[in-house]
Structure 1
Amino acid sequence: MDGSRHGTQAFHDALRRNKSIICALSASYISTFAGYPLDSLKSRLQLVKTHMSVPRLATIVFREEGIVGFYRGLWIPLVTISFVRAASFTIYTETKEYCRVHDYLNRDRVLDAAIVGGIGGAMSGSLISFGSAPFELVKVRRQLEYSIAASKGVHIVKPPGTAAAVKEIFKTNGISGLYSGFRLHFGEHPKLLASVDLNLVSSRYSGNSIILLGSKSLLYDGARHILGRNRLGEQGETPSWLPIPSSLVPFVCGSLSGVTSWALIYPLDVVKTKVQQRALAGERYRGVWETLRRLVRGPDPNHPKTIIAGCARIYRGLGISALRSITTHGLLWTLYDLTADWIDNLPDR
């Protein structure tokens, strides 16, 4: 009996020591699986030349590729999560703890909470830029297999597997191609985007990842403070103007931060997807500004589209991306908090 009790206690202690990693992994796996079909539809919707509703696109994907079409490349972000998310959440939480212990930006104000969260998110984004670029490139390649084949004038019955996609990318650019663009400064987005061809994705996980994760964390921690969480991380009562259960606070704040952050950088993500698709299809490379101009004004300079139509084009797919952000980020922070609370409430010795 004593041995069993000792083993249980050792297990509980191990959970406490690795709380941030366990919370990040458990929450990330579930939220990624739930939101991946929406991410796949978002990538496809960005490339269609005419307006198409999400239900119609989903019907086409299901008819041509089956249910597996929505999850093609899923294992890639799941593998990425196993080391990137765990490390990034650890950096995020440790940065906040460091600021709290050393009394940096530790006043009970929403601005301080938001800045500390933004710093933690930006630092974790720096890590993701090195760990996720190769996986993200292959994931996008797998999602766009059919559109890439169509661009080449090839009809495929069964798309190549992940190993074949990696082999083709390596054959074209070598191992260094998976990290092209990292020689430039993280924040130099236009120059970085214009410098890469096959791996425009690396820009998303360098400068853009810092902005994206930094803004998400800034908005999330700021919103959590407004909705009753104190500087020690304890959730109090929500304000009278939003009397929701405390268990819903992480979902509301996570969804809000995810949607807002994606709306800020969405046009750049559309450009990234378009340039990637052309590069993977072997078409002539177009720089970021040329791609953006053609998306906004159209391919014919003599008959340009209106600004309103052009803006609608570069924001095509934002609705499905917003729904994905609500699903993934809401679930991510909700499950993270639930797991953390469960570990905190494990019995002591």
Structure 2
Amino acid sequence: MTISRDVCIDAGAGWVAGAASIFASQPLDTVLTRLQQAPPAARPASLALQLRRDGGLRALWRGASPLAWVVPVQNALLFAGYGMGERFAAYASAERHADAATAARAGGAAAPATAAPPLAPIFVGGCAGGVLQCFVVSPVELVKVHLQSSSPKEAGAGLLAGASKVYATIGVPAIWRGLSATLLRDGLPHGVWFASYEWGKRELAARDPDRVLPTAAAPLSCGAFAATVAWAVGYPADIVKTRIQSPAHAGRDAPSVLAAARELLAESGGRPFAAFYRGFGLKLARAVPMNALSFFAYERAKAALEGAWV
């Protein structure tokens, strides 16, 4: 299997995974976006009810149009990075095992058992994919945040209408507003995400040597575990990013990452956890099943593409 073929398969499977997960999780994302901008007294249930009263059930899917375009592309980049890290880890492990086996034979000893591939290349590949996709996702998330924060009368009909309305308000030069916070949210945490997923798969395989568990158990359970760990690392940057991209800053300069963080701390009375993990439970309620489904769809799509691409 050539590298170009591998990358294409990883990207294609990642695209399928993104498309499969986006619409199921969008209502929670819409409520979460509003919660991250609302005063501390706001509650998710009241925000959801307000959305439904103002715009009906369709309002809960507001902002899905931008994500429907970007999330499959985002996942394609992420899983391509993951696949490259996975292959490099396997190659490095094989090289180390071959060297150790040669040394053992020269000394008259038995060849050592094959060690598991290192997690470091998978972590680096995840970080690289996370950083690359930021330049795709950040401008589109700016539009998404504006659409999710707007009233039914102000909301655009779709991606192009929403983008035209947003950039007419804030100006095209502001297209990268929130990029710094997006890089903080998606760089290191995506390395953690993929390394946690791979570690979980290995642990599950070690505890189930007879393959008693169904094949879907590994991607579903390990995807859920990886999402929890990764968002525990990246969530503070997510809430800062939403504040920076908020329509409240339309028509004027948006705050820096540090200024937005200080604003959050001031609102919470100086309590860091309350400031930077507000809405974290709602984020996990969306991210855990979404990522479990995403990894499941990725593994199945990758197997299908490998079988079709002979």
The TM-score normalised by the length of structure 2 is 0.79
Question: 1:182 aligns to what?
Answer: none
1:238 to 189, 208, 217: 208
Question: 2:279 aligns to what?
Answer: 317
Asked if 1:116 corresponds to 2:128, the answer is: no
Partner SS, residue 75 of structure 1: helix
Deviations, residues 110-153 of structure 1 (Å, cap 9, x unaligned): 6x54322211111111220222222111111111113xxxxxxx
Q: Give how far 1:209 is off.
A: 1.5
1:221 to 194, 198, 203: 198
Asked if 1:86 corresponds to 2:91, the answer is: no
Q: CA, structure 1 residues 173+346, in 2 after alignment: closer, same or farther (shift >3 Å)?
A: closer
Question: 2:237 aligns to what?
Answer: 268
Q: CA, structure 1 residues 260+89, in 2 after alignment: closer, same or farther (shift >3 Å)?
A: same
Question: 1:258 aligns to what?
Answer: 227
Partner SS, residue 119 of structure 2: helix
Question: 1:163 aligns to what?
Answer: 160
Q: CA, structure 1 residues 61+243, in 2 after alignment: closer, same or farther (shift >3 Å)?
A: farther
2:188 to 197, 207, 211: 211
Deviations, residues 22-68 of structure 1 (Å, cap 9, x unaligned): 32222211111111211111111112214344333222211112122
Looking at structure 2, the residues matched to 338 and 292 of structure 1 have their Cα atoms a distance apart, in angstroms, of 40
Partner SS, residue 132 of structure 1: helix
Q: Give how far 1:252 is off.
A: 1.1
Looking at structure 1, the residues matched to 297 and 74 of structure 2 have their Cα atoms a distance apart, in angstroms, of 18
The answer to whether the Cα contact below 8 Å between 1:21 and 1:86 also exists between their aligned partners in 2 is yes
Which is helix-richer, 1 or 2?
2
Deviations, residues 178-203 of structure 1 (Å, cap 9, x unaligned): 13xxxxxxxxxxxxxxxxxxx11x12
Q: Give how far 1:173 is off.
A: 5.5
Q: CA, structure 1 residues 50+176, in 2 after alignment: closer, same or farther (shift >3 Å)?
A: closer
Please list, as runs of the form range in 1=range in 2, the aligned pairs for 1:281-320 lying within 5 A after superposition: 281-282=250-251, 285-298=254-267, 305=269, 307=271, 311-320=273-282
Q: How many residues align?
A: 289
Q: Give how far 1:239 is off.
A: 6.7
Query: For structure 1, which runs of at least 5 residues remain unmatched after alignment?
Result: 1-14, 147-155, 180-198, 229-235, 299-303
Looking at structure 1, the residues matched to 148 and 213 of structure 2 have their Cα atoms a distance apart, in angstroms, of 38
The answer to whether the Cα contact below 8 Å between 2:81 and 2:129 also exists between their aligned partners in 1 is yes
The answer to whether the Cα contact below 8 Å between 1:251 and 1:334 also exists between their aligned partners in 2 is yes
Deviations, residues 97-117 of structure 1 (Å, cap 9, x unaligned): 13423547977656x543222
% same residue? 23
The TM-score normalised by the length of structure 1 is 0.71
Q: CA, structure 1 residues 104+70, in 2 after alignment: closer, same or farther (shift >3 Å)?
A: farther
CA RMSD of aligned residues (A): 3.2
Question: 1:100 aligns to what?
Answer: 90
Partner SS, residue 180 of structure 2: helix
The answer to whether the Cα contact below 8 Å between 1:42 and 1:317 also exists between their aligned partners in 2 is yes
Asked if 1:64 corresponds to 2:54, the answer is: yes
Query: For structure 2, which runs of at least 5 residues remain unmatched after alignment?
Result: 98-113
The answer to whether the Cα contact below 8 Å between 2:89 and 2:119 also exists between their aligned partners in 1 is no
Partner SS, residue 49 of structure 1: coil
Q: CA, structure 1 residues 86+33, in 2 after alignment: closer, same or farther (shift >3 Å)?
A: same
